[in-house]
Amino acid sequence: MGLVALSLAIITLDYRQGQSGPLAAMGRGAQAFMAPLQEAVTSATRPVGDFFSGLAHLPSLERENQDLQDQVTTLQTEVSTNAQLQAQLQQLRDMLGLKSSLSPEAVPAVVIGNGLSNFHYTVTIDKGSDDGVRVCQPVVTGSASSPRLVGQVISVTPISAEVRLLIDRDFSVAGELATSSQTGLVVGQGDQDLQMQGIPTGTTFPEGDTPEYVFTVSYEIAGEHGRYPPGLLIGQVSSVHEASNALETEVSVKPAVDFSALEFVLVLKTNASEGCA
């Protein structure tokens, strides 16, 4: 019974003190202790895990192959047009004297573990405050030219950090539809696709198979900048429901990142403010 009372005391204490209390510090200690072990186990078991997830995807591979080949043909034609546009863009940029890369410095990291819970979606990465990783910094994956949003750092130890994923139910980010430039709040929904809220009815979406993408958006309110650099790909619109009695359109967004196979990420060293987690 003493233990029950102790548990209740711990819940109360931690609930009241949040990130600054002794229990939060204990948690960070435990995470730092576990990080090297997680790293070892993950590097040993990743090939096995890849094998099993490969098996699970086997039936869809043939269809995927066909789809991809079709895509290659389409893309090849697009590439030639793009090269032309790229040259044009470069010319215009040079003319305007813009800096081509405004993106902040980034720390590459490896995913060494996943969260323990069935109710939250987090991963552990192998870089921490020793490498300049801070709470609130955005985490992306993909190449520098086409970064895709993964999530946000929520706690750091000297050698590891916890990242809350885009699909976590506590995660939200301002997003912008590529064609209509309408902005809305993108909220994680766990295993389901993300929900984008606040899109007015009557917003136009591309017809047919043309995908509509959602990117992070930059904004500034009273001198405070948004937490995420603009232009990070969040995902692709998967369904649009026109709700006749509501003032807005419900938009589902499929994340651009495959979270089941996440391995390498980049932490963007923005000057994130404290108190966002």
Which residues would be at the binding site for other proteins (CB under 8 A)? 3-4, 6-15, 23-24, 26-27, 29-31, 34, 37-38, 41-42, 45, 48-49, 52-53, 112-120, 122, 124, 154-155, 162, 164, 169-170, 190-191, 260
Q: How far is the CB of 15 from other proteins (least distance, A)?
A: 4
Q: Pick between residue 52 and residue 100 the one whose CB is nearest to other proteins.
A: 52
C-beta of 32 vs 178, nearer to other proteins:
32
Q: How far is the CB of 37 from other proteins (least distance, A)?
A: 6
- Are 112 and 262 in contact by the 8 Å Cβ rule? The answer is no
CB of 5 to other proteins, least distance (A): 10
Residue 106 or 112 having the CB closest to other proteins: 112
CB-wise, 48 or 221, nearer to other proteins?
A: 48
Q: How far is the CB of 184 from other proteins (least distance, A)?
A: 19
Chain-centre distance of CA 74, in angstroms? Answer: 28
Tell the smallest beta-carbon distance from residue 97 to other proteins (Å): 44
> Least separation, in Å, of the C-beta of 30 and other proteins?
4
Of the pair 9, 87, the CB lying nearest other proteins is at 9
When the beta carbons of 2 and 97 are compared against other proteins, the nearer one is 2
**Pick 191 or 224: Cβ nearer other proteins:** 191
Q: Output phi, psi for 86, to 5 deg.
A: -60, -45
At 202, give phi and psi (nearest 5°).
Answer: 90, 0
| Min CB(13)–other proteins separation in Å | 8
